[in-house]
Structure 1
Amino acid sequence: MRPGRSSRPRTRTRPQHSDAVDGLVVSVDRGRYGCVRPDAPTEDDIITAMRARELGRKSVVVGDRVALVGDTSGAPGALARIVRIAERTSVLRRTADDDDTTPEGRLERVVVANADQLVIVSALADPPPRTGFVDRCLVAAYDADVEPLLCLTKADLAGPEAVLNYYAELDLPYVLVRPDSDLAPLRQRLAGQISVLVGHSGVGKSTLVNRLVPDALRAVGAVSAVGKGRHTSTSAVALRLPPSGADGADPGWIIDTPGIRSFGLAHVSAESLLHGFPDLVEGTVDCPPNCGHTPADVDCALDAWVDAGHADPRRLASYRRLLASRAGEDPREERPDT
């Protein structure tokens, strides 16, 4: 008789893959992962890989450091396997909406792994700055333990004073970019880092990416071919920055995330949400136990903190809008700046 399938002996022993080579995931497209070797001269040397079965349900995202076996030549038609994922140093997450939940839990989406900083690209005019979006990005960055950097574009159309005044208490690092400005100050902040760029449509992020990586369109085409697809508005792509000097220093990587229009914060705890507003934290010391810091909490000390001039009232309003949004309320009528 033919033995039943359940009679097949199984073992928990897994191959060690001692011959695996290191790789960095630079693109993800429908089950195919574009990877590059750390010593590859350019990101054109793409290794197309699939996820090995032994990884189980572990997700692989852009920025992951992985171990590859199989055909790692990068030749057309070659296919390697990702057999290990290194421990992530940071994980930038978001949810589609602030109350994005199911009976099983929150629907978290990992944006990128192992990022060092989040570059929030915001125009100073056309379109005007949207501080509500910036606030959300700051919360996501602090929650992921990723350093934020504010990149203000179109500085030829308007001054940065209003935006910088809004964030005066945060000591938030920033750079100003004009169409003809030297990008050296920005490159210095990107050097040796893995930086994620986010921004609304029209703020000049694509123009900035093309200035930082002159071959960006060609590079995106190379990684898009991994899955025989296209670089869509929902895909993230890592691009190696060109060398900026003869000292051989690592110029860093940028990860373009054209699909991100906002950060849903359902995955962020109430405590972590407050830490995204460090200028308000000290004001909660005198709050009663279990204070929700909402307008309904009549004994909340944040109102007195703001009235005393320790924080911008617009910051408190933004924080409370996020609290209301996480609670499933609709704060849109109060959101002219988001």
Structure 2
Amino acid sequence: MEGFVVAVDRGRYTCLIASEGEKGRRRKKDRAEGAAMSGRVVVAMKARELGRKGIVVGDRVALVGDVSGGPDTLARVVRVEPRTSMLRRSADDTEDTDGIERPVVANAEQLVIVTALADPPPRPRMIDRMLVAAFDADIEPLLCLTKSDLASPQELVALYAPLGVPYVVVRRGGDLGEVRERLEGRLSVLVGHSGVGKSTLVNALVPDANRAVSHVNAVTGRGRHTSTSAVALELPEGGWIIDTPGVRSFGLAHVSAETVLAGFPDLVEGTVGCPKGCTHLAEECALDAWVAAGHADPARLVSLRRLLASREGTSDDDRPDAP
């Protein structure tokens, strides 16, 4: 039977199996291959024949065995269906220094980058990393700017206007109509560093989600990690969101330099004058003159070079107060 993985916990996979009515509706509407479903909750383990093949939230899987969903029952995952997308990040922060590429979620259609406008302040370099990851995974990005009652979104919106990235602005306790409209009928993954209001947003969108909410440290401006694992939650109006743990960094070691550059389309044209094999970090790079001529925002070039330097291991500091 086909299942949709909604949570992963220590080798156990919580899956939803569509009811007969839901299966018929999916066939009738010819829903997208990566779409989620509603139905019976089943807990499963990975079959031995799958070996070391990873299974993540968002995966569609084939289940056998006891799929009744009764107490103390356990099914087996025997196959992971082809994925329409895979969001990945490299472990390059101070907690995970093994350099291993880590899958985040599968089959997402939209990457919602949640960032606060204040308390804590925005981190454009982190946003840039996530945009590049979305580009690499062929997932549509959406900026969700929270806490607009504390600061204006104008400066941050202007910074990303050249990229044409869609955005929504949210104030604490405000209306979420536009956010719901963007999420309806889609499988979206929410990412953001701790303290930006992601869990608060999830709880407002899915009232019975009960995701833990953190408080921002008044001295460091950082939040405490409250979500410890990814989980898929069904939206009342249709569609799903996958809430992920807050991250301190979003490594891009698995992404090529060409892909990083492609994530900055406002700078690509400026590389035409670069020498062959240009790393875009050396003095002979043509991007300096391109930006100086007013073709792009200097902050964008700074972000690009920081990402490229991070890939080479020469820079790995995404703190708001980093030089």
Fold equivalence (TM over 0.5): yes
1:107-127 Cα distance to aligned partner (Å, 9 max, x none): 110000101111000111111
Query: Partner of 2:222 in structure 1?
Result: none
In the TM superposition, what are the counterparts of 1:75-224 in structure 2 within 5 Å?
75-97=70-92, 107-217=100-210
Distance 1:197 1:212 in 2: 12
Deviation at 1:287, TM superposition (A): 1.2
Structure 1 residue 95 displacement after superposition: 0.9
- Which residue in the other structure is 2:31 paired with? none
Check whether the contact 1:43–1:239 (CA below 8 A) recurs between aligned residues. Answer: no
- Taking structure 1 as reference, are residues 206 and 266 closer, same or farther at Cα in structure 2, changes over 3 Å only? same
> Structure 2 matches for 1:1-338, cutoff 5 A?
21-39=1-19, 45-97=40-92, 107-217=100-210, 233-243=227-237, 251-294=238-281, 296=282, 298-330=283-315, 332=317, 336=321
CA distance in 1, matches of 2:169, 2:84: 29
- Inter-CA distance 254–329: structure 2 relative to 1 (3 Å threshold): same
Segment of structure 1 superposing worse, 84-93 or 272-281: 272-281
Q: Look up the equivalent residue of 1:97 and give its one-letter code.
A: D
Is the CA contact 2:19–2:38 (under 8 Å) kept in the aligned structure 1?
Answer: no
Alpha-carbon separation, structure 1, partners of 2:295 and 2:319? 22
Change (3 A) 1:203 1:165: same
Looking at structure 1, the residues matched to 68 and 226 of structure 2 have their Cα atoms a distance apart, in angstroms, of: 26
Post-superposition shift, 1:178?
A: 1.1
Give the whole-Å Cα distance in 2 for the aligned partners of 1:98 and 1:287. 31
- Tell me the CA shift for residue 180 of structure 1: 3.0
1:299 CA drift (Å): 2.5
Aligned in 2, Cα 1:86/1:332: closer, same or farther, shift over 3 Å? closer
Q: Percent identity?
A: 67
Count of aligned pairs: 295
Q: CA RMSD in A?
A: 2.5
What one-letter code is carried by the residue in structure 2 that aligns with 1:51? K
Task: Please report how far the alpha carbon of residue 213 of structure 1 lies from its aligned counterpart in structure 2 after TM superposition.
Answer: 0.2
Contact kept, 8 Å, 2:56 with 2:103, in 1: the verdict is yes
Distance 1:320 1:98 in 2: 18
Q: 8 Å contact 1:196–1:257 — kept in the other structure?
A: yes
Change over 3 Å in CA distance of 1:304–1:27 after alignment to 2: same
Give the secondary structure class of the aligned counterpart of 2:295: coil
In structure 1, stretches of 5+ residues that fail to align are: 1-20, 219-230, 244-250
> How many angstroms does 1:45 deviate by?
3.7
Equivalent residues of 1:48, 1:74 under 8 A apart: yes
Indicate the SS of the match to 1:112.
strand
Q: Distance in 2 between matches of 1:263 and 1:332?
A: 11
How far did residue 336 of structure 1 move? 3.7
Paired residue secondary structure (1:140):
helix
CA contact (8 A) 2:193 2:246 kept: no
Which of 1 and 2 has greater Rg? 1
- The unaligned stretches of length 5 or more in structure 2 are 23-36, 212-224
1:80-119 per-residue CA deviation (whole Å, 9 max, x = no partner) reads 11111110010101111189886xxx51100001011110
**Which residue of the partner structure matches residue 26 of structure 2?**
none
Measured in 1, the distance between the counterparts of 2:76 and 2:179 equals 36
